[in-house]
Amino acid sequence: MSTAEPAIELKGISKAFGPVQANKDISIRVMPGTIHGIIGENGAGKSTLMSILYGFYKADKGEIFISGKKTEIPDSQAAISAGIGMVFQHFKLVENFTVLENIILGAEDGWLLKPSLAKARKSLIDLAAEYELNVDPDALIEEIGVGMQQRVEILKALYRQADILILDEPTGVLTPSEADQLFRILGRLREEGKTIILITHKLREIMETTDTVSVMRRGEMTATVKTADTSPEELAELMVGRKVLLRVDKKPPQVGEVVLNVENLRVVDEQGVERLKSISLNVRAGEILGIAGVAGNGQSELLEVLGGYADGTGTVTLNGETIDLTGKHSDGKSRRARGIAHVPEDRQREGLIMDYTAWENTAFGYHHDPAYQSGILINNAAIRKDTEEKMERFDVRPPNPRLTAKNFSGGNQQKIVLAREIERNPDLLLIGQPTRGVDIGAIEFIHKQIVALRDQGKAILLVSVELEEILSLADRVAVMFDGNIMGERAVGDTDEKELGLLMAGVET
């Protein structure tokens, strides 16, 4: 049994924000030279705990020990001085600076920049060689991919002599091959004696990468186990307090006629950049077509045009009838009238008005429904009653239609949007990032609703950056890269490796 002091030990950490207890008496030991996973549902307190460790928040009570020594961490500079580095989910890089300039930013040696750059260049070359973090020091951040940008963030931490690395949802924007490369790098860092804390909601990554995993639920630490001694099913149950079905249970599709047909669809943005390049695809009744790809490769523009939020050129038909792509009949209202429902990628900016109540949000876009009318006036009581029924069917918690949208968790906000759109009995459902930032229990529920709609004979176009979600839900998958469809496959005839290559722009 190891007698080494923990690299990190937190004792009795508590933190409240007003009446909300984000962390409650949390204690955790992270041993040196290990990869320690932390998982939990949205709002479980993971990010708050790591923000306390990195000096963004100050705990209301509790103690932090680094390598056995009690340490005060009032700010991020103190965390860096204590040998802690953090790689955030959204990178903290200056886009028009070079890799080298970003590495030394905030860690310059005196007023003269040239000696700092020369010293950093040598250190960067040494670090890149030691940890297989090869990156061009003179490349501009805006000209390199997200996988390379993540390497820069890791190099920044190592340049500041971090022995402890915290990574927050590090694979959210990576292709499968980039994620594999990241985990090889983390393995190399572990071999060199670095300690890594990995925050992720992806149970497969936990099982394949970590030595130990801690589970948080509702602000408390519910378990810490050796990864080799647990399973994804057990971890999921520890996270939500009940058994969770991790795989989508669905029958083979009963495919009907073509509902949506898209031919040579092009979108050019306000800067003249072509975002969609002659896209052609179709979706049939009773099937789910998944659109896979790293974010920013045209998937958002595809949903926007089909949903009536942006103009395009080309030919789009719904049930054989042409849909206008420009002009007054190309808006969301016209799409809804034609039988298209849309769950947008960003529920808070595009799917809900956060300061409005749940019942008001449930009616948005459908407030002219005769069921909501009382003569020439809108019948608010009818909308509230309908919302109560939807909330019950979609298990929205708390089931209070008078609460504002901002008072619901992310998963319950998503359920409100899904209830509004799915219960309109659409011919075509457009759905973007259905479970982004959603608890594992809510993910299971949302997946069941999507499959149920498909089994009713509806056509579904699903966009997700989560390849595992695409492979689990979709019947066919099309991969987008740089505004193009790189290829299309039946889900049963492909795998993550092939799709990952297509996502990286490599034809197979």
Under-50 pLDDT residues of the chain:
1
Q: Enter the tokens of residue 148.
A: 């390379």
Distance between CA 155 and CA 218 in Å, rounded? 34
pLDDT of residue 179: 84
Q: What pLDDT, on a 0 to 100 scale, did the predictor assign at position 1? A: 42
Q: CB under 8 Å to 113, separation ≥6 — which residues?
A: none
Phi first, then psi, for residue 31 (nearest 5°) are -80, 150
Residue 329's pLDDT is what? 84
pLDDT attached to residue 499: 93
Q: Which residues contact 288 (CB under 8 A, 6 or more apart)?
A: 253, 450, 451, 454, 460, 462, 473, 474, 475, 476
Task: Decide if 396 contacts 362 (C-beta within 8 A).
Answer: no
pLDDT at 471: 93
Q: Which two tokens stand for residue 185?
A: 């790098």
Q: How far apart are CA 431 and CA 374, in angstroms?
A: 32
Which CATH number is 8-240's, of 3.30.43.10, 3.40.50.300, 3.90.950.10, 3.40.1160.10?
3.40.50.300
Q: Which of 449, 383, 386, 384 is nearest to 414 (CA)?
A: 449
β-sheet bridge partners, residue 210: none
92 contacts: CB under 8 Å, gap ≥ 6? 153
Check residue 73 and give its pLDDT.
95
What does the alpha-carbon distance between residue 457 and residue 257 come to, in Å, rounded to a whole number? 10
Checking phi first, is residue 395 left (phi over 0); if not, alpha (psi -120 to 50) or beta? left
Q: What top-level class would CATH report for the domain 258-357+427-503?
A: alpha beta
Distance of CA 293 to the CA centre of its chain: 13
Q: Which residues pair with 199 in a beta bridge?
A: 38, 168
pTM of the model: 0.75
3-state class (DSSP) for residue 217: strand
- Give the number of residues written for the chain: 508
- Phi then psi for residue 17, to 5 deg, are -115, 95
Residue 107 DSSP SS3: coil
Query: Which residue ranges does the chain devote to CATH 3.40.50.300?
Result: 8-240, 258-357+427-503
